[in-house]
Amino acid sequence: MTVARTIPDTNLLWRDPALDHLGLAILCTLAYADVFDYPLTPRQIHRYLLGVPTDYDSVIHTLENSRWAIKRLEHHDGYVTLPQREEIVELRRRRAEVAAQMWPRVARYGQAIAALPFVRSVALTGALAVNNVDPGDDFDFLIITAVGRLWLTRAMVIGFVVRPAARRGDEVCPNYLLTEQALDFEEQNLYTAHELAQMMPLAGLDIYHRMRRANQWTSRFLPNAGGLPLQGKTAIARPSRASTLAEFALGTFVGGQLEQFERKRKIRRFAAQQDQTETACFSVDRCKGHFDSNEHAVLLAFDQRLQALAAL
How much is the pLDDT for 236? Answer: 52
How much is the pLDDT for 166? Answer: 97
pLDDT digits (tens, 9 = 90+) for 152-174: 999 999 999 999 999 999 999 99
Calpha distance 142→113 (Å, rounded): 10
Is the Cβ–Cβ distance between 42 and 63 less than 8 Å? yes
What average pLDDT does range 228-232 have in this prediction? Answer: 72
Residues 6+ apart with CB under 8 A from 203: 110, 111, 113, 114, 119, 121, 122, 234, 235, 236, 237
What average pLDDT does range 193-198 have in this prediction? Answer: 95
Q: Please, is 247 exposed, middle or buried when counting C-beta atoms within 10 Å of its C-beta (0-12, 13-18, 19+)?
A: middle
pLDDT digits (tens, 9 = 90+) for 68-127: 666 778 899 999 999 999 999 999 999 999 999 999 999 999 999 999 999 999 999 999
Give the H or E element holding residue 180. Answer: none
For residues 288-299, one letter each, b for 16 or more C-beta atoms within 10 angstroms of the residue's C-beta and e for the rest, the string is bbbeebebeebb
Domains and CATH numbers, the chain: 3-89+298-310 (1.10.10), 101-292 (no CATH)
Percentage of the chain exceeding pLDDT 90? 62
With 90 as the cut, is the pLDDT of residue 257 above it?
A: no
Band (pLDDT 50/70/90 cuts) for residue 4 is: very low
What average pLDDT does range 34-46 have in this prediction? Answer: 97
How much is the pLDDT for 277? Answer: 44
Q: What's the chain's average pLDDT? A: 87
Q: Which residues pair with 79 in a beta bridge?
A: 76
Q: What are phi and psi of 125, to 5 degrees?
A: -125, -175
With 70 as the cut, is the pLDDT of residue 237 above it?
A: no
What average pLDDT does range 245-260 have in this prediction? Answer: 81
How much is the pLDDT for 102? Answer: 95
What average pLDDT does range 207-219 have in this prediction? Answer: 95
What average pLDDT does range 21-40 have in this prediction? Answer: 94
Calpha distance 177→153 (Å, rounded): 9
With 50 as the cut, is the pLDDT of residue 190 above it?
A: yes
Calpha distance 91→133 (Å, rounded): 10
How much is the pLDDT for 265? Answer: 86
- What's the DSSP call for residue 230? T
Q: Which residues pair with 235 in a beta bridge?
A: none
Is the Cβ–Cβ distance between 32 and 190 less than 8 Å? yes
With 70 as the cut, is the pLDDT of residue 232 above it?
A: no
What average pLDDT does range 275-279 have in this prediction? Answer: 52
What average pLDDT does range 23-36 have in this prediction? Answer: 94
With 50 as the cut, is the pLDDT of residue 33 above it?
A: yes
Q: What are phi and psi of 302, to 5 degrees?
A: -60, -45
274 or 307: whose pLDDT is higher?
A: 307
| 36, 127, 139, 169, 288 from 166: Cα distances, Å | 26, 19, 11, 5, 21
What average pLDDT does range 6-12 have in this prediction? Answer: 81
What average pLDDT does range 140-163 have in this prediction? Answer: 96
